[in-house]
Structure formats: C-alpha cells, structure tokens
Amino acid sequence: MTDFHVNGRSYAAEPAAGQCLRTFLRDLDVFGVKKGCDAGDCGACTVHIDGKPFHSCLVPAFRGAGREITTIEGLASNGELHPMQKAFHDAQAFQCGYCTAGMIMTAVTLTDAQKTDLPHALKGNLCRCTGYRSINDALHGTCNIEPDEAGKALGASLPNPFTDAIVTGKARYTMDLAIEGLLHLKVLRSPHAHAHIVSIDRSAALAVPGVVAVYTWEDVPKRLFSSALHEDHLVDPDDIMLLDNVARFVGQRVAAVVAETEAAADAGCRALRVEYAILPTVFDPVLAVQPGAPLLHDKDLVTASNNIFCTLQGEIGDVAKGFEQADVVHEQTYSTTRVQHVHLETHGSIAWKGEDNRWHIRTSSQAPFAAQKKLAYIMGLPPRDLHVFTERVGGGFGGKQELVSEDLVLFATMKLGRPVKWEWSREEEFIGATTRHQMTTRVKIGARKDGTLTALDVEVFSNTGAYGGHGSETLAAAMASPIAAYRCANKKGIGHAVYTNMTPGGGFRGYGASQTTFAVECAIDELARLLGIDPFEMRRKNVVRPGDNIESIWKEPSDASFGSYGIDECLDIVERELKKGNGVAKPEGAEWTEGQGVALAMLECGPPTEHRSGAEMRLLPDGTYHLACGSTEMGNGITTAHKQIAASMLGTRIDDIDIINADTDRTPYDTGTFASTGVVVGGKAVHLAAQAMSEDIIGFASRFTGVAIDQCRLDNDAVICGNQRILLSDLHAEGAKVDHRFSVTRRAYLSPRTIAFNVQGVRLAVHRVTGEIRVLHSVHAADIGRPINPMQCRGQLDGAVAMGYGWALVENMVHDDEGHMVNPQLRNCRIPTFADTPHTDIFFADTIDLIGPLGAKSQGECGINPVAPAVSNALANATGVRFAHLPFTPDRLFAKLAAAS
Amino acid sequence: MNLTTIAEVKRPASVDDIDGWRDGYSWLAGGTWLFSEPQVAVDTLIDLDSLRWAPLTATDAGLDIAATCRVVELHDFEGPPGWRAVPLFRKCIDSFLMSFKIWNAATIGGNVCMSLPAGAMISLTAALEGVCTLWPRNGEPREMSVVDFVTGNHQNVLQKGELLRKIHLPAAALSKRTAMRQVSLTKFGRSAALIIATVGDDGADFLLTVSAATPRPVQLRFATCPSAEQLRHALDARLPPDAYFADVHGSAPYKRHVTQYLAEQIRTELA
C-alpha cells in the first residue's frame, strides 16, 4: 500500500496501474472532483498537488503518492468558507454548479497578473450555464445577492439554497454515490452509419475476467419506443429499441457489457466480435427524400415508403397574391448547424433493487416522471414498481429530455439483481446522444415600400437523423413562433423532418424555433436593407401586437395569448443602448470594419402539447414548511424560484421552506422541466399549493381562535388572529390534537400560454483578412414578465445568450463522408470559453404578466434565439455580405470578405 | 482518464534498466496526451520522471531542454540578456490551446513527440533551429534538427522505443531578433497558423518558420530580409495550395490565406 495525503488525511491505497488521479480520488469518496470531459479540456476535475493546480484526469494516480493533494473539500478550514468560495457564494457564480469545484480550485491559484487577464487564465475551465459573467463577478468581488427576509421573497435576488454545498463540493450529482456491489455497464457503439447486425460473438467478451453479462438485440424486449420524453408519448415515433439489429448511425448502441469494473466492461466491449452487413447511407435530408434513397425505417406503413417522418404545412391568406402586392421580395436559403448540449455532467444512471422490492433509478434527467412511464412500458412493469429520481443534475439544456441511459441500467439490474451503473464519456455525448436539429430554411418574404409585409413563405428541411424523437415537435416549433412573430395577412409554410443516417436530433434550448428565427430574422433585415428602412423600424412596424391573431400558417384557434406585451419596450431599450454605446472602440487598423445588428424572438411560454405539474406543501411541527414539486433543478434555478413563489404567498423566508424536487416517490407528478415550463407550469402548481397552504392555516387558526377569517393573516413564523399572534409551531401542535394535518396539494395545467419576447443587439468588428470577429457591444432585452429572482433571470439570459454566441461563432461538429464525427473531443469541438463569451448588458421590459404565476413568464430558454441572426445582421451591416450559414468561423468567412473588399 | 489496458508502470532509475522494447510499451512523460484518450494498444508505461533529468541547462553554447522539462519551467526561464529570443518562449507557450494548469504537467518533449501540426513547442524549437538528441533502443545517440524530426501530422522519425532525450537551442539562434504571429478560429484556440521569423542584428539570415498551417513545420531561409514579393514568391513556390493542412481548426485555403498575410506582417516587423 502507498501513502496518499488528501485534504490533510492519510490514505493507504494502491491505484490501478493506468488509473488517473481523478478516479482514484473519487474511489476514496472524494466526490468533489468532477468529470466533465476526462481529457483535460474542461477543468472540472482541477485539484492542487503541492499547491499547484492540475487537471486530475490527466495525472497518473501514482504520481500523487506522498504529495499534498487538495480538492474542493479541503479548501474550507474550520468550517469557514475560503474567501474564493465566499466570493462564488456572494456572486452566485454558478448555475448547475458542476464546473464550480474546478473553477474555484483554479481561481484560488491565480496570481494578480493572471487575475487581470481572466480570458487567458480561465481558458482551461468550461462552464456551459453562466456565460461566465457571474464568474467574472466572483473574481472581482461583486455581491449579487440580497438578504432573505420574511415577506420580501418575490422579486428578490436570493441565493441558490444549495450554494454552500456547491461551493464546498458536497453537493451530490448523479454519480456522486458509493454503492456496495456495484456493477458497471458499457456499450459497444456502431462504427457504421448503416448496417445490419448479422451476428455477435460474445464468447471472448464473456471470457474477460470480471465480465458478468453481455446483452445484444436478441436479449432485450422487442418493444419500440422513442427516447424523447414528453407528456404524450404519441408525439414522438416509436422507432427505437433497447438494442437493435440494425445500426442507423455511427455511435448507436450495438451491445451492452456488464462487469465488475469499468475496465472489464470496456475490455468486454472490445472483445465482442460483430459481423456487420453494410447498408447504403444517406446524410442529407434533401437527398434522403429522393426516390431510391436508402430507407432508414420500415417498421410501419408510413416509414416503409420514404424517409419523411413528418410534414407540416399550411397557408393563411393567399401568399401568391401577397407577393404580387409586394414592392420588394427577398428570397434566400439559410442553414443552421447541429450542436451538442455539452452539459458538463454527462448522461448516466444507477439502478438497483430496493428492500421494498421495487426498482430504483438515480439519474440525470429533466423528466423523471416521463422516464418512469416510458421505462414501465419498455419493461412491461407497472409504474409503481419504479422509482426514478434525481439528486443534483449538472446541466440539461434539452439533452436530458431523453431516455438514453436509464433503460439499459434498469434492464441489466433486473436481469442480474445487482446494482448497475452507466456513466457516459464525453465522446459518447458527441456521438451517442442527441444534437440540435440541423435545419435548412428557405425564406421568401415580400413587403410594400412602406415596409408592410405582404407575404411570407418558409420551407424547412429538418434533419432528424436516425431516429425521430423530437422531430415533429421541433419542426412544429420551427413552423410556429418565428413566423407568428410577424403580422402578415399571407403566410405559407411547409416543413419536413427527414430521417438520415446522422446522430439523432433532440430537444435543445430554443427547440426548432431557434433555427427558423435565424432565417426569418436575417430575411427581415435583408428586406429592411432593400427598402432602406431602419431594422428597428422594420420590426416595430411588423411585429405582432395585442389584437392581432397570433398565428403562423394555420388558422386554427390557439391558446397562446398576450398576458403582457413588452416587445416594443425591448426594441426601444436595445436601440437606445446601441445608440448610447459602451465606449468600446473598433480595433485600430483599416482591416477592421464595424457594424451592428438586431434580431427579435417570440416565445409561446410552454409547449402546445400537454404539460402538467403538481405541488405539495406541508406545515411542519417546527413551524417551517415542506414543499415538493416534480420539476428538475439542473442549473435553471427552479428550486430557488419555487421557494420564492411559496415564500411570497406565505409571507415567510425561503430558508424556512425545505424543498424536494424531481422524484417520482416524493413529489407529485410533473411532466418534466423542458419547453419553458419550470415557472409557468411547475411554478403555477407551487403558487396554487402555497395559496391553499395559506388558506388551510388561516382557516384552522380562525376555527381554533374563533376569530373571523378576514381578521387572520400569516406573519412569517406565526399567524395573526385579531390581536393574538400564534406561532405556527404551536398552531401545528393544536392541529395535531384534532388530526388536522396542514398539508395540501394542487395541480397546474398549461393553458393559456402567455407570450414572451427577446431582443438581441450586437455591435461587432470583423477583420476583413483574417475573418476574426470581435463583439464590441452586446445588448439583450427580455420581456419575461416579473422576474421572480432578477439575479437568476439575468443569469439564465447570460447563459442563453452565451450559448447563442457559441452556436453563431464557435461550435462546429464535423462529420466525414461516412458519418463519423471527426472531432468528438472538447479540444476539437469547442464550446465558448470565458474568452469567447462577450459581456452582455441585460435589461428587462417592465411587464407584469396576467397569465403566468405572480406575473412571471418563461425566461430560461428563449434568450438564445435572437443571437445568431443579430450577429449575421451585424456582419451584413459591417461588410455588405450576408452570411446565411452557421457557424461564422473565420475560415468560413474569409473568402467572401476578401471578395467584398 | 483511466487507461484501463495498463498492467504495469515501470519506473527505471536509468534508461539502461529497460531491456529491449516490445509492442505495448510506451514512454510516459507528462501524461497530458496519453491520459486524454484511450490507449488500448498500450499495456506498460515507462515513467521518464524517475530518470530525473535536469530540465534546463544553459551554457555558452545554448540551451539544453530535457524532453521531460515541464512547459511551466520553460515558461519561467529567463536567459542571459543576449538571448533576445527568450520572450518567444512565453509567446509560443501562450498560444497553446491548453490551460496554464496543463503546463504544470505537460513536457516539451511530449509536445514535440506528439508531432501535431499545432504543437507550439515544435514551432518554437524549429524556429530557434533546435537540434534533437535521440536515444535509439539499440545503437548510438543521434542528432536531428527539430524541423526534420517532425515528418507529418502526428508523425516523426522516432523508431520503436527510441527516446527523445533533449533539444538543444544554439546560442546563435537564441540571440536573433524574432517576430511571431498566430491565429485560431476561436479566441486562444488551437492554432490555424503559427508563423515565426528570426533575423540577425545585421538583417542577415532571415529564417521564416511556418507551422500549424502545414502538416509539419516548413522553413524558408533568406540570406537577408526578403522583399514582400520575394517572400510571397518563395511561399508560393514552397507551399502550393495542397501543401496546407486542413482540419477542424481551419480549412486549407484559410490557412494558406492567413499564412501569407501573417508572414508579410512579420517580414515588415523585422525589416
């Protein structure tokens, strides 16, 4: 045994020969050391060795012997937060918190010189949630929080209730659990984009020491399902099996190996001998609809004839006539890329059989209840035999609205009776999870000389990849709000979601609307340019307003409705701010040219399909409250928001409300935390439950005291009845005597759906030779109703806008001609670093919504949508060249820039 | 990440302790690349740290950089005042995609032996006319210039088991004036082009080193600082469009475009 010193403790242990320090520390139950990439790119595993920072995933464990190793758990001393932990606490410099340990461990080592150059100093630490603004705040000692005072919760910038756990490394994410007798599952993934699996010889794999079982398509239930998670499973096609005998994309699961160690499971995967019969492939959705294209699915009558999974079309008015009335017409094809969510916590689940003889699945999901229903269906179990839950989830962004890890661990644990864990690698995220749908969008748009739109025609080809989950819903979103955002009597659209041999598309923040928003907002700008009308004026003139029909290309009645209206204010703010400027000048030199652009986005708050949530509240014997709601906390801040909603209804502090979320055993049903529903559905359930809780307490107090109910009111930890003040703990005791339980539950449903807007303004400089883009001024205005927690809302927008810049300027998944991803590592498929992410000035329209709970609207999702088109519009303004195809990396710009110079 | 196929780590006190060489052996320097990807063909790591080579040795003849010298050690190096090229060390190190934290582990030798087009230590040591000392498994040590050591993307002259012992930077090269330019597709991203030129005080011996844009470093030597036209001509002659390296960090036409642009900037700076 060798001596290791970790956080002041000595351990006698022997790492495996090729073990890295990261997993070795986690084997010692030091779970603050996180895995974001396991390849040195993200910094989540940063630890100190003899005071110097290292990415522990790259350090051979044996080199840690005899040296002083410090992890996030060892930073605080005597129960006092380290000043840097305190700074992250005060600035709330995290959202999901998964990167925080590594971020803090890096930040504490920075020299003063490094602190003056954070873009360089932090380039080895990726955060996908915050857009780095709050991290910058922490490093500058900014405090972003307000005190938690009774009765003042609504609209207060209160800190995340799990802050201390996050900044000290104690917060437990999905994999931060040691389980006795745990087995490990790994999958072999297809190297071919389309192949029939002729045979799988598992004998060599089973002979690998430690391998317990091998599963192939022959072993699993022959039940088709969709990995997409929605309330109504019928919106997604049943086209996937646990394991299939046809591989339809590179990276599809072919077989699962379960073993005593991850190493043995990996070795087992390598030992499998698979005979593939290669099938012809198609990757382009336009080619995939041509006669004779290889067919992806022949599972039913619809997909047996062609690759079109779904076509949506409609027309209002008469578009042909509308174009006749137009003085100018713009027509152009735009395209957007597939990108990966890159939630820093990869997918993963742990399943076991409980003493209650039920199956328990601890997972990283945005929708544990929908997952529970789907798992019950796949395995043929009653849902009550399944318990699906999350503890802390390290980011989602739509990527975890997908059942991709829970199914196999449950299957294996049901077969083997032992706990089974499956933790995905970063590479698996790139090749085996879902991406944003790549869409190609032709827009034809016409207007009169005065700018009035006369006709809008949109055609979308969406590449849904090998499987159709989210294909129809994202297409529906693509054909909806970006078109409905403009008043125009004649609109037409047709969209196809097409199967190809690409990685499947999935849900991703913005969900289809981002893609059409890019095309339409660029087209509106082009039209304004043709007409010589200011882009702000063009939008003001044509944007939908109260009294208009809120419709895209269908005349059917819609439940979308203006609970408030703030787009005019948002446009005014962004115009004013850009005009005012921020003092950042264009870089010197004749090669730099400057321009500005604007784009807007509209969001119907919540999906058009079913969505529901419940909340439960109890008064506890000590006079504090318990709140349970099924929504998932993944960095969206929903637990803080829900506590604030409840606290504001009960006149108390959020600290006096404990909360449980996203657990099928311990919270009421919730469809899932996606489609902008955390506040408007989950929050509404909490609002109703808190209201009922208040009525229940006051009602009992009135009966107990004999004071009329209108003379009774809640006052923090007490109820005031006339001139008496009774502590809630005393009241609870009185209730207990007569079996009054002080517990309530309420359900919320999504209808009508209110409408939110976002406007992004960008001033940038572009280098005409190198193609480098520098964002000089970034302004965002959001019409999100009353911010329940302004600091969190700003953080959500920071993150969404940063992701928008990533999509526009940085991220690029590259595939070769055979469908292999060329760059499935974060050092090759970049996401924005601190340096890539401009600071954005964020403003809120002064709206209080009449539909959303307490005047609030959705805020986490839509901020991403106007960013890419605003960048394209600014580029066009600067150079006269329209860049219509994402991403705008310099090597994709330079030739056109040179030609235009 | 865990290298699950590794069965043994050898930690020799001397290279002589390693008998022979077989498939499955791998030298382990900083480990920052080795541990960043699965290495299923490797079952034995041979730790170079246990050899305890002095990282940096400065003499009148120049600077000897041990293969195991950490990037941070080179970053912190301050040479004699006459070695005017030393600030280039930091500039090249700063152009790494990797974070400063990786500098604490990654080695100069590891970066050179990886032989990636964007290996900034290749750019640096090639530009400063570095000479590698190689220790073959059998036979006498041999020497080779860095520019010849790297033969292509992820390819070099090393024979099986052969070890890069050190890189010598001659004092003459360290005394030259230098200029450097680098671009990448994202801020501080992996280099699409990293161009360095050195020139003597008298304007003689202008040496242009193109890296990252090409699969291996390419050098153009001029007796005196060339004119814009001479430089352009020489670049075109030496590097036709298909000589550039296309990857996710930049298309070949882009790399050609910026190489020509940056080379001219450097020429102007040093002229």
Percent of chain A with pLDDT over 90: 97
Residue A299's pLDDT is what? Answer: 64
Establish if A114 touches chain B: CB-CB under 8 angstroms: yes
3-state class percentages of chain A: helix first, strand second, coil last, to nearest 5: 30, 25, 45
Q: B248, A16: Cβ pair inside 8 Å?
A: no
3-state SS, residue A688: helix
What is the pTM for the complete model shown?
0.98
The nearest CA of chain A is from the CA of B224 a distance in Å of 27
Establish if A27 touches chain B: CB-CB under 8 angstroms: no
CA A204, A205, A208 angle in degrees (round to 5)? 90
Q: B100, A835: Cβ pair inside 8 Å?
A: no
Contacts of A857 (CB under 8 A, 6+ apart): A563, A564, A605, A679, A680, A754, A755, A756, A783, A784, A785, A847, A849
Question: How much is the mean pLDDT over chain B?
Answer: 97
- Taking the C-alpha atoms of residue B109 and residue B164, their distance in angstroms, rounded to an integer, is 7
- Taking the C-alpha atoms of residue B183 and residue B163, their distance in angstroms, rounded to an integer, is 32
Residue A300 has pLDDT above 80, yes or no: no
Counted across chains A and B, CB pairs separated by less than 8 A come out at 155
Quick check: bond before A887 cis, omega within 30? yes
| Tokens 């960090």 found at | B249
Mean pLDDT of A770-788: 98
Chain A interface disruption, residue of B28, B34, B52, B100, most A CBs within 10 A = B100
Q: A809, B186: Cβ pair inside 8 Å?
A: yes
Mean pLDDT of A15-28: 98
- Taking the C-alpha atoms of residue A609 and residue A622, their distance in angstroms, rounded to an integer, is 41
Sign of the CA dihedral with A787 first, then A791, A792, and A798 last: positive
Q: Both ends of chain B: CA-CA distance in Å?
A: 48
| Tokens 């204010």 found at | A569
Q: A60, B35: Cβ pair inside 8 Å?
A: yes
The nearest CA of chain A is from the CA of B143 a distance in Å of 31
Q: B248, A898: Cβ pair inside 8 Å?
A: no
Establish if A584 touches chain B: CB-CB under 8 angstroms: no
Tokens of residue A78, six digits: 């005597």
Between A18, A119, A425, which is nearest B188 by CB? A119
Q: Which amino acid is at A843?
A: F
Q: Which residues of B touch A829 (CB under 8 A)?
A: 248
Between A39, A822, A894, which is nearest B1 by CB? A39
Percent of chain A with pLDDT over 70: 99
State the ipTM, two decimals: 0.97
Mean pLDDT of B116-130: 97
Strand order in the sheet with A273-278: A246-247, A195-201, A273-278
Sign of the CA dihedral with A447 first, then A452, A457, and A460 last: positive
- Taking the C-alpha atoms of residue A827 and residue B106, their distance in angstroms, rounded to an integer, is 16
Each residue's pLDDT tens digit, A743-764: 999 999 989 999 999 999 999 9
By DSSP bridging, strand B62-66 and strand B142-145 are unpaired
3-state SS, residue A84: helix
Mean pLDDT of A694-706: 98
CA B108, B114, B116 angle in degrees (round to 5)? 105
Each residue's pLDDT tens digit, A175-203: 999 999 999 999 999 999 999 999 999 99
- Taking the C-alpha atoms of residue A780 and residue A600, their distance in angstroms, rounded to an integer, is 10
Question: How much is the mean pLDDT over chain A?
Answer: 97
Mean pLDDT of A542-569: 95
In contact, A629 and A853? CB cutoff 8 Å: no
Establish if A836 touches chain B: CB-CB under 8 angstroms: yes
3-state class percentages of chain B: helix first, strand second, coil last, to nearest 5: 30, 30, 40
Tokens of residue A727, six digits: 């502590």
Chain A interface disruption, residue of B48, B49, B186, most A CBs within 10 A = B186
- A496's enclosing H/E stretch is strand A491-499
Residue A697 has pLDDT above 60, yes or no: yes
In contact, A757 and A603? CB cutoff 8 Å: yes
Each residue's pLDDT tens digit, A236-248: 999 999 999 999 9
Tokens of residue B143, six digits: 């020497």
Quickly state the pLDDT bin for A1 (edges 50, 70, 90): confident
Instruction: Select the more confidently predicted residue: B201 or A68.
Output: A68
Quickly state the pLDDT bin for A475 (edges 50, 70, 90): very high
Strand partners, B10: B46
A676 closest CA partner among A620, A607, A730, A625 = A607
3-state SS, residue A87: helix
Q: Which residues of B touch A119 (CB under 8 A)?
A: 187-188
Mean pLDDT of B197-209: 96
Mean pLDDT of A862-871: 97
Residue A78's pLDDT is what? Answer: 87
Eight-class DSSP state of A74: G
Mean pLDDT of A679-687: 96
3-state SS, residue A792: helix
* DSSP class per residue in A750-784: --SB-EEEEEEEEEEEEETTT--EEEEEEEEEEE-
Chain B interface disruption, residue of A103, A123, A269, most B CBs within 10 A = A123
Tokens of residue A202, six digits: 């598992």
Residue A315's pLDDT is what? Answer: 98
Q: Which amino acid is at A430?
A: F
Residue A306's pLDDT is what? Answer: 87
Chain B interface disruption, residue of A188, A830, A886, most B CBs within 10 A = A830
Quickly state the pLDDT bin for A303 (edges 50, 70, 90): low
The nearest CA of chain A is from the CA of B142 a distance in Å of 30
Mean pLDDT of A144-170: 97
Residue B19's pLDDT is what? Answer: 85
Tokens of residue A220, six digits: 């699993």
Task: Kindly tell me the burial class for residue B202, based on how many C-beta atoms sit within 10 Å of its own C-beta (0-12, 13-18, 19 or more).
Answer: exposed
Residue A301 has pLDDT above 60, yes or no: no
- Taking the C-alpha atoms of residue B38 and residue A428, their distance in angstroms, rounded to an integer, is 13
